[in-house]
Amino acid sequence: MASQAQITAFVNEYAPYAETAAQATGLNAQLILAEWGNEVAYGTAWSEKNNIGNIGVYSGGPNPSYATIGEGVQAYINEIKSIPSIMATAGQSLAAQAEAIGNSPYASGHYLATGSNVPGSALIQDANVIASAGFGTASSVPPASLAVAGSASSSGAGGTAATAAAATPAATPTTNFNIPGYGTVAATGQQATALSTIEATLSAYGFNQSQVNTLTNWAWGEITQNVDPTQIAIDLQTPGTTGYQVFEQVYPGFVAANSSLNALGQPSLSVSQYQTYQTQAEQQAQAAGLPKGFVNSQNIGLFIGQGISSTELSNRINDAMALAYQSTPEQQQVFNQYFGTQDFNGYLGATQTGSGPLTAGQIAAIALDPITAEPLIKQQIQAAQIGGAAVTSGTGAITQATASELAQAGITTSQATNAFQQTAVYAPLEAARPGMGGEAAQGVVSPDQLALGSLLGTPGAQRQLQTAEEVAKAPFSGGGGFIQNTKGTGVGSAGSSGAGQ
């Protein structure tokens, strides 16, 4: 006899297959699992590989093996469907179905409990064993009451009352449940198991009591139509069902996320995986100081659907916080100038009307935009920080194109700040001076040229600075020019401190 641990392991592994067979045949899933346990000694004595019902054994073989357990289950389903006397009991009590199987050629006389001649009595015993492992309900008729003192003659006129009682199918055991909208209902063993499974699922999914009531009402209607719990869980996540209408209230981004993942060739996430991702994201957002609700289930669906890992999401959240809540006013102003006019309506629900400045929340929404790749978002943020540093240092406002080029080149805010502090001395050369004539175009250097020359060593920018210095020095050729008086180092000094040199 198999141990209790082996029986429990058998039930846990093959119960879903039994429910599939029950759907196809109308037999009780607990009874099917009991029959399989009887045939293969609860997984400890297989006659052939994956032949869970020992198909072919009773007819003298050959005993086929199957490549998968699914094929073995389908062979069992086909076998049961080929026996009209068994199929005639579809939907009836477990006891009636056990007796029909015991009377069929499938049984070949070996479904009798010890000391009993009631067909299928051994299956009642095995059904109780299955119930002891947590699947189904124990029979109200103990196996001992199926035993008959005597032989075949006990079925004649001289049979005892016990014999007659044993030959009468036992009443199907029921459990009372209070179902919202139905009141108190008497659920059969299989229905009770299905309902308990569904209730546990709903509790794990985090629905509130009102939602649980609605879903339990819906699930009971499914159960009474012989829909198994696995299919009900699938229906719960299928648009168009009553269950999904409630499910979507808690997980609005779930179905769309999995649809996007599948389109990317990636496997779907389970609800528990989705819950874990969302919990981590909300915790990260809270730790970063983002407003409560800024990251929610709908947004989580967008992140998951784009294949954004929880690590990448954490990086985005930190970037969003740094930009929206920790950057200087100058940096935020520059970010507004660079990116405030772009169409970002819909980024995490953010909207913008008119051409006014972006709010901190809208800036964070851009940083968390799931459609834009993380490297590009980092470059946008870095460009704004570089542009802000150029303003605060006195070098002047550089264009978005220049700031983005510096960010793409990997220039850090610290490097940019150091360089701009040294190029600020050339700020007077950024505009035409009094007395300049036709040489004005050559004598002016822009903040962009100062930035590119000092940080990237761009030749054209450095030449322009040299020209501007020469023009500025020309009126003072006899006594030291403007640059010599203020800096003392001449052309190239800005570039010598840049990260690009």
Of the candidates 149, 90, 93, 89, which has an alpha carbon nearest to the alpha carbon of residue 118?
A: 149
Which backbone phi and psi does 417 adopt, to 5 degrees? -60, -45
Q: What is the pTM of this model?
A: 0.44
How far out from the chain centre does Cα 228 lie?
24
Kindly give the confidence (pLDDT) of every residue in the chain, 501 residues in length, as a single tens digit, with 9 standing for 90 and above: 578 888 888 988 898 889 889 988 999 999 999 999 988 889 888 888 898 988 875 445 567 888 889 888 998 888 888 888 898 888 888 888 988 888 887 765 678 777 677 888 889 888 888 888 888 877 544 343 333 332 232 223 333 333 333 333 444 567 788 888 888 888 887 788 788 878 777 877 888 888 888 998 999 988 888 887 778 888 888 888 889 999 999 898 898 888 888 888 888 888 888 888 888 888 887 777 766 777 777 778 888 888 888 888 888 888 777 766 667 778 777 877 777 655 444 445 454 444 455 566 666 666 677 666 667 767 877 888 899 899 989 999 999 899 989 998 999 989 999 999 989 888 888 887 666 655 555 678 899 999 999 999 899 888 888 888 887 776 544 333 334 333 333 334 333 334 333
Query: Mapped to the 3 state alphabet, what secondary structure does 355-412 carry?
Result: CCCCCHHHHHHHHCCCCCCHHHHHHHHHHHHHHHHHHHHCCCCCCHHHHHHHHHCCCC
Note the CATH architecture for domain 4-167: Orthogonal Bundle (1.10)
